[in-house]
Amino acid sequence: MSAPTTMRVFIPLTIRKRNGRPKIVPPADVVPETGGVDPHVLKAIAKAWSWRRKLEIGEAATLADVATAEGVTPAYAGRMLKLTYLAPPVLEKLLIARVPPAVSVKELAVAAELPWADQEASVFG
């Protein structure tokens, strides 16, 4: 009888933390169905615009009302609401071209405070 053969397979995966949880990130040449953009980023932008519309049309009087209705803290709601002030070219790259940002959602909110001309370089590196 011959000795059993062993095959070793190497898959270059990366483990990154997302929202405090480890997430396995596939290699760069494998593109997920979101086009490489983290679904949390897309969801955060959608929520921010929804909350902004609620405030604009009077469905909610204050940011605290939005936070209470959504079950989040007012500080979180305020930070996420900053995503509505991202520059149009940044939003186009994130939502239409599906270019993944080089920063987290929290850092994306900080980048929204920058002038529009500086945001693209800050978000995409």
For the chain, which residues make up each domain, given as ranges?
A: 35-124
Q: What is the pLDDT of residue 1?
A: 62
Q: Is 18 helix (H, G, I), strand (E, B) or coil?
A: strand
Tell me the C-alpha distance between 42 and 33, whole Å. 13
Tell me the C-alpha distance between 75 and 115, whole Å. 22
pLDDT digits (tens, 9 = 90+) for 20-79: 788 777 666 654 555 667 888 999 999 999 999 999 999 999 999 999 999 999 999 999
Q: What is the pLDDT of residue 38?
A: 81
- Give me the CATH topology for the region 35-124: Arc Repressor Mutant, subunit A (1.10.10)
Q: Quick one: average pLDDT of 96-116?
A: 91
Q: How sure is the predictor about 8, in pLDDT bands with cuts at 50, 70 and 90?
A: confident
Q: What is the pLDDT of residue 30?
A: 55
Task: Report DSSP letters for the chain, one per residue.
Answer: -PPPP--------EEEEETTEEEEE--TTS--TTTTS-HHHHHHHHHHHHHHHHHHHTSSSSHHHHHHHHTS-HHHHHHHHGGGGS-HHHHIIIIIS-PPPSS-HHHHHHHTTS-HHHHHHHHH-
Report whether 102 contacts 121 (CB < 8 A). no
Q: What is the pLDDT of residue 34?
A: 52
